[in-house]
Amino acid sequence: MSETAGRLRVFVSRRLPERVEHLLGERYQVTLNPADTPVDAATLARAMSEYDAVCITILDRVDRDILHVGGRRAGIIANFGVGVDHIDIEAAREAGIAVTNTPGVLTEATADLALTLMLMVARRAGEGERELRAGRWTGWRPTHLMGEGLSGKTLGLVGFGRIAKATAERAHFGFGMEIAYYARREDASGAAEKLQARFQPDLPQLLQTSDIVSLHVPGGTETRHLIDADMIARMRPSGILINTARGDVIDTSALVAALAGGRIAGAGLDVYEGEPHVAPELIALENVVLLPHLGSATRETREQMGMRVLANLDAWFKGEALPDRVA
């Protein structure tokens, strides 16, 4: 890259895979975050004033005040992740700041994790591991921790995008599950036909007729608490709720009440309202599996995400069309 490009300054809010950081350092003057701790709003605002590009993660909130900071220098925010509900997109457009994300590359890993959660909850694997580690296991017995199999069960998908379709493929072809899905419109890609998936335009009906419900919708105001107390009440008492999407899609208090009261059988969560905080009431429950936002956490996927960030930065500084522009 040219000598001019080598002087371009890039701020990175969290540690990235080693190869990604190395390539960034070769091409740009990069400031990394060796402590790998969250940065505050003041730090992000300062970065917008002092750097040509700012690379953030899905836990860095970028509001209007940060985007409209005086003396702003940065022209692009490159997000490491798909969701951009933590960025005020309208304010970015007003300020003329480009925003990019990293779509596509985390589909397979997140679908794998959705199935992991289904299996862990249905087979009570979390309960079993806690029992064994605590020294409470007394040996095999015929009625010990009996769970449910997935074969022949109905998986209801809320949303039918890339990750939902990949999850459905694993569930249908790998475990013999029946597939139903709720979305704004019926699938026209051919994926639903291949999976023999049933379109359900009514969310309550999907919840009532599914053994396992898996959430695959974006975050934001339109989907906040989409799964509230009323929706959870529509689920079967034997139902399982899985969330690898965004934490605020579920009303946590309503979910805790339903799990504690036995109104649904269990839940598997990888994302949380207000994360990294996790409600103590959730942690205290046995019938919920809790993972620390591992959806895309494979070496291959996180590196590919970093490469998408790098590709967007390279395109921006060369004056080319951005591969993954969202604003």
CATH at residue 283: 3.40.50.720
Query: Are 253 and 144 found together in one domain?
Result: yes
Query: Are 61 and 191 found together in one domain?
Result: no
Per-residue pLDDT at 112 exceeds 50: yes
Per-residue pLDDT at 66 exceeds 50: yes
Nearest to 304 by CA among 7, 23, 12, 10: 23
Query: Are 112 and 245 found together in one domain?
Result: yes
Residue 327 within a domain: no
Residue 243 within a domain: yes
Q: Which two tokens stand for residue 47?
A: 């970065």
Reported as a single tens digit per residue, the pLDDT across 84-103 is 999 999 999 999 999 999 99
Question: In this prediction, what percent of the chain has a pLDDT beyond 90?
Answer: 96
Per-residue pLDDT at 124 exceeds 80: yes
What's the domain count of the chain? 2
Q: Which two tokens stand for residue 175?
A: 């475990």
Average pLDDT of the segment spanning 63-78 = 93
Reported as a single tens digit per residue, the pLDDT across 226-275 is 999 999 999 999 999 999 999 999 999 999 999 999 999 999 999 999 99
Q: Which two tokens stand for residue 135?
A: 């020294």
Query: Are 24 and 171 found together in one domain?
Result: no
Residue 115 within a domain: yes
Reported confidence tier of residue 69, pLDDT bands at 50, 70, 90: confident
Q: Which residues neighbour 46 within 8 Å (Cβ) at sequence distance 6 or greater?
A: none
- CB neighbour burial string for 61-91, b if at least 16 within 10 angstroms, e if fewer: ebeeebbbbeebebbbbbbbbbbbbbbbbeb
- Which residues are identified as catalytic? 246, 275, 293
Question: In this prediction, what percent of the chain has a pLDDT beyond 70?
Answer: 98
Per-residue pLDDT at 1 exceeds 70: no
Reported confidence tier of residue 2, pLDDT bands at 50, 70, 90: very low
Reported as a single tens digit per residue, the pLDDT across 182-234 is 999 999 999 999 999 999 999 999 999 999 999 999 999 999 999 999 999 99
Query: Are 174 and 140 found together in one domain?
Result: yes
Query: Are 115 and 262 found together in one domain?
Result: yes
Query: Are 97 and 118 found together in one domain?
Result: no
Residue 126 within a domain: yes
Q: Are 44 and 54 in contact (CB under 8 A)?
A: yes
> What are the backbone angles phi and psi of residue 80, rounded to the nearest 5°?
-90, 90
The mean predicted confidence, pLDDT, of the chain is: 96
Residue 325 within a domain: no
pLDDT the model gives residue 7: 75
Query: Are 163 and 283 found together in one domain?
Result: yes
d(C-alpha 9, C-alpha 34), whole Å: 17
pLDDT the model gives residue 4: 42
Residue 323 within a domain: no
Query: Are 166 and 280 found together in one domain?
Result: yes
Instruction: Name the β-bridge partners of 57.
Output: 80
Nearest to 185 by CA among 206, 170, 200, 204: 200
pLDDT the model gives residue 152: 97
Query: Are 94 and 150 found together in one domain?
Result: no
DSSP state, residue 263: S
pLDDT the model gives residue 70: 83
Query: Are 215 and 246 found together in one domain?
Result: yes
Residue 324 within a domain: no
pLDDT the model gives residue 104: 92
pLDDT the model gives residue 5: 43
Reported as a single tens digit per residue, the pLDDT across 275-304 is 999 999 999 999 999 999 999 999 999 999
Q: Give the domain range for residue 206.
A: 107-290
Query: Are 206 and 267 found together in one domain?
Result: yes
